[in-house]
Amino acid sequence: MKVGIIQSNFLPWRGYFDFIREVDLFIIHDDLQYTKGDWRNRNKIKTARGLEWITVPVNYKNTSQIIEQTTIDYSSRWALKILNRIKEAYRAAPYFETYFAQLTDLLIEPTATISDLNLRLLRWACSRLEINTPIKFSREFHPQGAKTERLVGILKQVDAAVYLSGPAAQSYLVPELLESAGIRLEYKKYNHPEYPQLYPPFESYVSIIDLLFMTGEDARNYLYP
């Protein structure tokens, strides 16, 4: 059993989905502190003006606030604003019409928290990419401790034999804790091929919708190194 654990992200880049594809169980780590101005509620798209952010406004109160309790701010028509910017940027994309109506329905339907919205969008994109990996929330396992201890607690509950980590976690993971629990540590490597894009030059670190709009049913073929 290979397990991966990453925080909740809004319409993440293709590497996030390649990561999910590679594991037997994917866990969204959303009972952690919410970090303002991070990937939790925003991501980048390609436009004629360059890379731009699309952002879901949230109600942020203090630094003790956790991701799963971070509610979406519906005081503005943010969904229509995001959709209009996506339409402006991608209406010339080959598969824009294929996915835009679906994405519209997903963003327009009210959702209480950013975690719940991200899960809805994640399941949709996974289905388009033919990724069937089971997805759970870390809150289901009531993890204790900090950083590596929390991860080990979750991994032991799901009988993980291998933990797949993102490369950035090398700065804080304690491999010895995983080893003592009988869990092998692997780091994900990203080396994805380029695909046709609007507005050269090529940019890999953009929302998954860029890949879907540009390549359609072939999108899955661009997840592999």
pTM assigned to the model: 0.96
The arithmetic mean of pLDDT across residues 184-204, rounded, is: 96
pLDDT at 82: 98
pLDDT at 115: 97
The arithmetic mean of pLDDT across residues 14-20, rounded, is: 98
The arithmetic mean of pLDDT across residues 115-123, rounded, is: 98
Using only the alpha carbons of the chain, give its radius of gyration: 18
The backbone torsions φ and ψ at residue 137, rounded to the nearest 5 degrees and listed phi first, read -100, 145
pLDDT at 220: 96
pLDDT surpasses 80 at 201:
yes
In terms of residues, how long is the chain?
A: 225
- pLDDT band, very low/low/confident/very high, at 62 (cuts 50, 70, 90): confident
The arithmetic mean of pLDDT across residues 86-105, rounded, is: 98
Q: Which tops the pLDDT comparison, 42 or 63?
A: 42
* Average pLDDT score, the chain: 96
Q: String of b and e for 70-100 (b: at least 16 CB within 10 Å)?
A: bbbeeeeebbeebbeebeebbeebebbeebb
pLDDT at 145: 85
Count of domains forming the chain: 1
Q: Cα–Cα–Cα angle for 52, 53, 57, nearest 5°?
A: 155
pLDDT at 93: 98
Cα gap 73→194, rounded to integer Å: 36
pLDDT at 146: 82
Q: What does the DSSP assignment read for 33-97?
A: B--TTSTTSEEEEEETTEEEEEE--B----TT-BGGG-BB--SS-HHHHHHHHHHHHHTTSTTHH
Please tell me the number of Cα atoms within 13 Å of 17 on its side-chain side. 33
pLDDT surpasses 90 at 63:
no
For 191, the domain range is 2-222
The backbone torsions φ and ψ at residue 161, rounded to the nearest 5 degrees and listed phi first, read -100, -25
**Residue 185, helix vs strand vs coil:** strand
The arithmetic mean of pLDDT across residues 9-30, rounded, is: 97
